Structure 1
Amino acid sequence: MTGNGRPMARYIRHAALFCALLLLALLVNATRVQIVRGGSYDENPANRRSTIARYGQPRGNILVGDGPITGSRDSGQRFRFERTYRDGPLYAPVTGFSSQVYGTAFLEAAADGVLAGTDPLLSPLPLWNDLTRGRNPGGNVVTTLDPVAQRAAYAGLGSRRGAVAAIEPSTGRVLALVSTPSYDPAELSGTDASVARAWARLNSAPDKPMLNRAVRQTYPPGSTFKVVTAAAALDAGVVRDVDEPTRSPDPYRLPGSSVRLTNEVEGCEGASLRYAFQWSCNTVFAKLGVAVGAGAMQGTASGFGFNDRELRIPFRVSPSTFDTRVDEAQLALSSIGQYNTRATPLQMAMVAAAVANNGAVRTPHLVERTTTGDGSTVATTGQRTLHQAMNPATAMRLRELMTDVVEEGTGTNAAIPGATVGGKSGTAQHGIHNSGTPYAWFISWAQSDRSLETAVAVAVVVEDAEADRGDISGGGDAAPIARAVMEAVLDP
């Protein structure tokens, strides 16, 4: 027995070792499947379990001020919880939509991990959900929006096509983001036939209600871009005294061209920078842009945020553009916000904010913080300077010039008692041979007489303005909307 037992024990040990190796291999493979390959299995279109689980619990909420502007409704269907929206059209450019059929957009997409409960930061233990295949309750996203300013912007635009963006200059917090016409994202919640009909109707509508004009549509900024040109001319030393004549002819023949540029107002020949800014003399700023040169103009424009393809707030913002390859005639037109110069309303709010913030452009952001479902903070958005667009001394001069516009120039409709307001109006021509109805622009900032800091910077664009074709139309159509938004922020 003893002699035969030793080989038998060896066989048992070998079998046990082999079983242990098989068990180890099984554990390694289970770990690989659960953690390493789990994500790819979850994302496989054939795997419906993840989708069912995604809508098997209420989605976290997006908050404005102290209250949620989103919710969840138990439909009793396979994809159980449907997204609901409070004041859907008012906040649609911010929230976007969350649809069982068409996915997510804007903040619903950018913060999907938190709202759906899949963000690892919501887990009390690292990798816990990867191991258990569990899902945390949805977290919340607290926005930077001022609800009163948001309503003022939406009411100001009314039935007209256009957009408003408002920023707190010292922090970059987005206070208002409105686009009209708008839509109700709740129409895209659920899985029944009405969702498909709503999707088709919204996408085929000629006025494009699903287009976020505040951050995804670029327009020729027209005379509001003269803020950038003035900053470039002052920083480059092309203009040293804003009250000295600029030796600008009227009309101004574009270099290397037979085209003669004219003005909508009198007194622009040889006008000072102060007068030209106050009354928006095209000839003065076109000539200044050429004198500054393409390189310096492009550098200043980039300092304000133009040509930045990486901007997120946290969802993507379409890049505003200042053409980097232009001849002198094209540079002249670019310097008055025409030719290929394009800007989103958010970009032009950043321009106004830079003037109000000593030349510094703070990174715009729409999310204040994210929290767990019970309100515990998960992450906060840090504040940082994106660029120094101009020298602080230049910003101080531009504050003077923008204040002049509101006190006695084309922007008097933006004046607010008890506050210092700076602004710049603009009309942007577009269409074949500039035949389209001009876009009316107004950018501005406001500082209460009781405060040491500027409270808000605003940009407004109205696509279907009714004013005359002169530059003053920005002051007539867009300035009152900007004033309403600024008043809302100044008087909480």
Structure 2
Amino acid sequence: MNKTIRRASVFCLLLVLALLVRVTWVQAYQGQALADNEHNRRNLLGQYENPLGNIIVGGEAITGSVKTGGKDFAYKRTYADGPLYAPITGFSSQAFGTTMLEGVYKKVLNGSDDRLKTVMDLLLNKRASPGNVVTTIDKDVQKAAWDALQGKQGSAVAIDPKTGEILAMVNNPSFDPGRIAGANDKEAWEELSADNGKAMENVALRKPQAPGSTFKLVTLAAAIENGLVTDVDAPTGIPDPYTIPGTRTLLPSEAGSAACNGVSARVAMRLSCNNVFAELASKLGQDKMRAMAEKLGFNTNTEIPVTTRVPSKYPSAKMSVDQVAQTGIGQFDVQATPLQMAMVTAAIENDGKLVAPHSVSEVTDAGGSVLESFKNPKTQQAMNAKTASMLRDVMKTVATEGGGKPAQVSGAEVGGKTGTAQRGVKNNLPPLAWFTSYGKAKGKQIAVAVVIENSDTDRSEIGGGRLAAPVAQKMMQAWLKK
């Protein structure tokens, strides 16, 4: 054979071998990665080729699927009471992706999760029947929160302190995820995205804000745990008028200096005396304050699951003495979500034990077999049981004699804490109205946190007891009276 022809033949053979190696590599090793790639349109079409699995509340599906009549997407997602449950479900959109439970459990709900596959599915290489997500949400508590928030901009969360189950999570304003479920809902998406997407903002989980005086529960917990307060009825001797340490600035209390001068921790909590809690924080120092906050969930990026929540924040960067004092009353750079403040109250009600909050009880296949269970969540001792008992005792006084009176539930033990938090440049925005509380009766218990961001109330009348406590009362009543 001619030498040139032989060389050309060997070269062509090498090219064929290289091509075979490449094809084998792509099919055997990269095939699954390419199939799972988020930009693979076949995956998107496959998600909506059949009806999706459902998200369940109280034994009933709050989601569904409907035929589109189109070629590419045979089905699209539908929602029952979409705005009511949007903070839980999120959305499943053919054009804009998925969020919240729809996103966390996307593969279960569309049948692509390997745990769903039967032997026949594997043999035929077909998508399995979709599974379902069973939530911990109680429809009565959820509805009570929704109704009570009408006419107000804000959010509310309820937890069962013993189990960590999230019983309710409501935002107002909210949105109907069904409006953006299709492939051609650009106009609705742009409308919901207006004003920085406020309609779709999950205030309950993803918008930490100054908790104001509700954070005084954390301050008092730290003071008791560190021996700074041993008797909640003993006079603290902390003066009012009170000058913020390291400054010449007087720190006023709403009740006035005559009422807050030298008072006990119980009276200070009932009247929300800023002087007492600012001084306690100042004496404790940043490290002890932060340690207590972190035991209760601050500075922690926890998956609950719904989505990874935005951490509530107690400052880690070095603060001056006046800044530490301000954190004692829930100001300066302290930030918390309603979920976080509900966790604080849940730990207090549960003898100091903080059970990891979760919104899903089970994930099942189409036949009801359990794929995942959240019935044994992580629990940690955030504070001594005696500390928790002292805090509950103080909170009961707030609910029976203080600003928390509107939260009372007939036949139940209720404890609470009001809060009003300044915000904006030089307080140019209406203050936040907070309320957090626990309620228990006949073996049932609940912890609630509510924040009201805006309402038609005159600025001088904005307060946690007036605006947020009635929302908490409706939620606690819906649970405790079941």
When normalised by structure 1's length, the TM-score is: 0.89
SS of the residue aligned with 1:481?
A: helix
SS of the residue aligned with 1:253?
A: coil
Over the residues paired in the alignment, what is the CA RMSD in angstroms?
Answer: 2.2
Query: Which residue in the other structure is 2:189 paired with?
Result: 199
Which one of 85, 92, 106 corresponds to residue 79 of structure 2? 85
Which one of 315, 327, 340 corresponds to residue 323 of structure 1? 315
Structure 1 window deviating more from structure 2 (259-268 vs 176-185): it is 259-268
Would you say 1:250 and 2:240 are equivalent positions? yes
How far off is 1:50 after superposition? 2.3
Query: Which residue in the other structure is 2:451 paired with?
Result: 461
Which one of 52, 57, 64 corresponds to residue 71 of structure 1? 64
Q: Are the counterparts in 2 of residues 159 and 181 from structure 1 also a CA contact under 8 Å?
A: no
Structure 1 unaligned spans of 5+: 1-21
The residue type paired with residue 222 of structure 2 is A
Distance, in Å, in 2 between the alignment partners of 1:417 and 1:59 is 43
Q: Are the counterparts in 2 of residues 162 and 213 from structure 1 also a CA contact under 8 Å?
A: yes
Query: Which residue in the other structure is 1:190 paired with?
Result: 182
Distance, in Å, in 2 between the alignment partners of 1:489 and 1:465 is 26
Distance 1:415 1:348, change over 3 A: same
Distance, in Å, in 1 between the alignment partners of 2:303 and 2:130 is 27
Q: Are the counterparts in 1 of residues 88 and 306 from structure 2 also a CA contact under 8 Å?
A: no
Deviations 1:447-490 (A, max 9, x none): 01x22xx5110000000145576798101100010000001111
Deviations 1:177-229 (A, max 9, x none): 0011011000111122xx00011111114671100110011110000000000
Query: Which residue in the other structure is 2:480 paired with?
Result: 490
Deviations 1:261-301 (A, max 9, x none): 01110411101001001111011000001111111100000
Query: Which residue in the other structure is 2:116 paired with?
Result: 122
The residue type paired with residue 250 of structure 1 is D
Alignment of 1:265-284 (within 5 A): 265-266=255-256, 267-284=259-276
Which one of 387, 394, 399 corresponds to residue 394 of structure 1? 387
Would you say 1:294 and 2:286 are equivalent positions? yes
Would you say 1:261 and 2:251 are equivalent positions? yes
Q: Are the counterparts in 2 of residues 174 and 365 from structure 1 also a CA contact under 8 Å?
A: yes
Which one of 209, 212, 226 corresponds to residue 199 of structure 2? 209
Would you say 1:168 and 2:164 are equivalent positions? no
Distance, in Å, in 2 between the alignment partners of 1:380 and 1:65 is 16
Distance, in Å, in 1 between the alignment partners of 2:461 and 2:420 is 5
How far off is 1:376 after superposition? 2.3
Q: Are the counterparts in 2 of residues 280 and 471 from structure 1 also a CA contact under 8 Å?
A: no
How far off is 1:384 after superposition? 2.8
The residue type paired with residue 96 of structure 1 is G
Which one of 131, 148, 151 corresponds to residue 143 of structure 2? 151
Structure 2 unaligned spans of 5+: 1-15
SS of the residue aligned with 2:454?
A: coil
Deviations 1:24-60 (A, max 9, x none): x989976x65664233212446643222222111110
Distance, in Å, in 1 between the alignment partners of 2:292 and 2:459 is 29
- Which structure 1 residue ranges, 4+ long, deviate > 3 Å from structure 2? 25-30, 32-36, 43-47, 128-133, 465-472
Deviations 1:100-128 (A, max 9, x none): 11000111001111101111221235xx8
Distance 1:216 1:46, change over 3 A: closer
Distance, in Å, in 1 between the alignment partners of 2:277 and 2:260 is 10
Would you say 1:475 and 2:461 are equivalent positions? no
Distance, in Å, in 2 between the alignment partners of 1:53 and 1:150 is 33
Q: Are the counterparts in 2 of residues 306 and 319 from structure 1 also a CA contact under 8 Å?
A: yes
Deviations 1:383-434 (A, max 9, x none): 3344322111000000100111111111000011110001001101111112
Deviations 1:339-368 (A, max 9, x none): 000000000000110000011111000111
Report sequence identity in percent. Answer: 43
Distance, in Å, in 2 between the alignment partners of 1:57 and 1:117 is 9
When normalised by structure 2's length, the TM-score is: 0.91
Distance, in Å, in 1 between the alignment partners of 2:399 and 2:462 is 12
Q: Are the counterparts in 1 of residues 313 and 335 from structure 2 also a CA contact under 8 Å?
A: yes
Distance, in Å, in 2 between the alignment partners of 1:260 and 1:434 is 17
How far off is 1:143 after superposition? 0.3
Q: Are the counterparts in 1 of residues 431 and 462 from structure 2 also a CA contact under 8 Å?
A: no
Distance, in Å, in 2 between the alignment partners of 1:237 and 1:70 is 51
Query: Which residue in the other structure is 1:99 paired with?
Result: 93
Query: Which residue in the other structure is 1:109 paired with?
Result: 103
